[in-house]
Chains A and B, each alone.
Chain A
């Protein structure tokens, strides 16, 4: 195997795939490698940890076809450190030799046949706008339950009568985002994709205008231009958000997004994590109150508009902020029923994004 290309092109491709590589201590050490294959004038790179695989294909000047699996992070570090300009990579014996400028590196390799490739999902392409998908993902991804074996450790993509939607929950809150123009999946279908894979996908999305999705359980493949990510899906699905979507929220607080975030940040100073911040709401005024036995207390009147009954309601300040931060409009609506029922966070003028949050008992 031998090829020549621009250092930057190779470094960019490696940056996409390398984070999917497994750890060296894992039962299968070859997973710490990056599989590089030259076929004609095209170079394919792949890293996998058996649950997911990221591949990227770039044009190169191919000299000899072949496959090699050098250690991924090492190969990546070397390529990044080389001077700009042409790089030549060649298999010599059991090593890969990387040359660029005046530098020469010999990198030991793994046995290429040990490298198990998770095949891409065998399903027809469905395509959606990558930028819109990236926005949607950014809005829901922070709500994913961040625990390795939890049934909610992913983002659900679903397509029903109301269209395509992304959803995530950690039991305390649920984030939903509609993709009004998207046609991915068929009506009635839903798939739960691991949050870990989507963190990688977020970095791949700026690579192209369109995101292609192929889904055939138990795997799903996302393709952005020359890069692709295939991951195992999670068995099961998230709870149905219908009860939150259909609920009545007679009390509404409308407030400037930046203004309430700043106030919450001030309140958070006296709150160790996960302790509640109280909102005292009435049509004559809105007051925020945060207090901790050791760290003191703060009170602040908010410039906001409130319609509804007098209400005191307590939220986990981190969860409330997370829901508000990803709203894309200047002002935000927080709609509530009472101090014990889920509240909703929406943009001022649409409900494409919704965030449902359970208040804390005061």
Chain B
């Protein structure tokens, strides 16, 4: 990753012509070849950029970046304030909130946290419209389909309903019911679930992780 802060002007020639007048900006040159020119504002979109693959000709007073489509980005450097380069290495990528997956794992290990007497049949039980998070047996021997969400909203209830409809086609599963599990369940989702005979359970993730609340217990 190379970061150059410079007083620069930029000319882009390609599908359309665009130019940036002279000003102080940050020029980023990433390890894969991408070049981006940023002003001091805005979270993500550069003022101008060129994706990889491209070739960069670094001249004394300007960078000329050309891509295979024949588009060129010319950055005229009037004054370089700072030029800094650092190897970042490979990025592990964005992890989108592992809570849901972890909740599923924890509850698969302790189905009794959802309901007393519940026993796991399997995680990610396959159906033709996607896997059911947990399939369990309750103390009365009934099959229980469980959908786990971080936040319990209406679409989660709809999803579980679709699974239940699917599972009902398989008579070998016998009596069937659903439990909708989330850290917090919206009142509308609760109402919808209850109207469909689906039980709602709110689960304390921190407690489940063994992060007991600050209150020690007697037993």
Q: Distance (Å) between the CB of A150 and the closest chain B CB?
A: 8
Given contacts A149-B115, A149-B116, A151-B116, are A360 and B216 in contact (CB under 8 A)? yes
Complex contact B115–A172 (CB within 8 A): no
Complex contact B219–A360 (CB within 8 A): no
CA distance A37 to B197 in the complex (A): 32
Contacting residue for A360 out of B115, B214, B218, CB 8 A: B214
Given contacts A149-B115, A149-B116, A151-B116, are A173 and B218 in contact (CB under 8 A)? yes
Complex contact B214–A171 (CB within 8 A): no
> A342: CB under 8 A from chain B?
yes
Residues B192-219 near A (CB distance < 8 A): 194-195, 197, 214-219
Complex contact A358–B115 (CB within 8 A): no
Complex contact A174–B116 (CB within 8 A): no
Q: Is the interface of A mostly helix, strand, loop or mixed?
A: loop
Contacting residue for B215 out of A25, A151, A172, A340, CB 8 A: A172
Complex contact B215–A316 (CB within 8 A): yes
CA distance A251 to B31 in the complex (A): 69
Residues B29-59 near A (CB distance < 8 A): none
Complex contact B217–A358 (CB within 8 A): yes
Q: Which residues of A sit under 8 angstroms from B218, Cβ to Cβ?
A: 169, 171-174, 239, 244, 342, 356, 358
Complex contact A358–B216 (CB within 8 A): yes
* Chain A residue at minimum C-beta to C-beta distance from B197: A27
Q: Which residues of B sit under 8 angstroms from A169, Cβ to Cβ?
A: 218-219
Q: Which residues of B sit under 8 angstroms from A174, Cβ to Cβ?
A: 218
* Chain B residue at minimum C-beta to C-beta distance from A356: B218
CA distance A172 to B214 in the complex (A): 11
CA distance A1 to B216 in the complex (A): 59
Q: Which residues of B sit under 8 angstroms from A239, Cβ to Cβ?
A: 218-219
CA distance A151 to B219 in the complex (A): 13
Which of B115, B194, B216 counts the most A-chain CB atoms under 10 A from its CB?
A: B216
> A226: CB under 8 A from chain B?
no
Q: Which residues of A sit under 8 angstroms from B219, Cβ to Cβ?
A: 169, 171, 239
Q: Which residues of A sit under 8 angstroms from B194, Cβ to Cβ?
A: 25
> A274: CB under 8 A from chain B?
yes
Q: Which residues of B sit under 8 angstroms from A356, Cβ to Cβ?
A: 218
Pairs A–B under 8 Å by Cβ, sample size 29: A25-B194, A25-B195, A27-B197, A149-B115, A151-B116, A169-B219, A171-B217, A171-B218, A171-B219, A172-B217, A172-B218, A173-B218, A174-B218, A239-B218, A239-B219, A244-B218, A274-B215, A340-B216, A342-B218, A356-B218, A358-B215, A358-B216, A358-B217, A358-B218, A359-B216, A360-B214, A360-B215, A360-B216, A361-B216
Residues of chain B having any CB pair with chain A under 8 Å:
115-116, 194-195, 197, 214-219
Residues of chain A having any CB pair with chain B under 8 Å:
25, 27, 149, 151, 169, 171-174, 239, 244, 274, 316, 340, 342, 356, 358-361
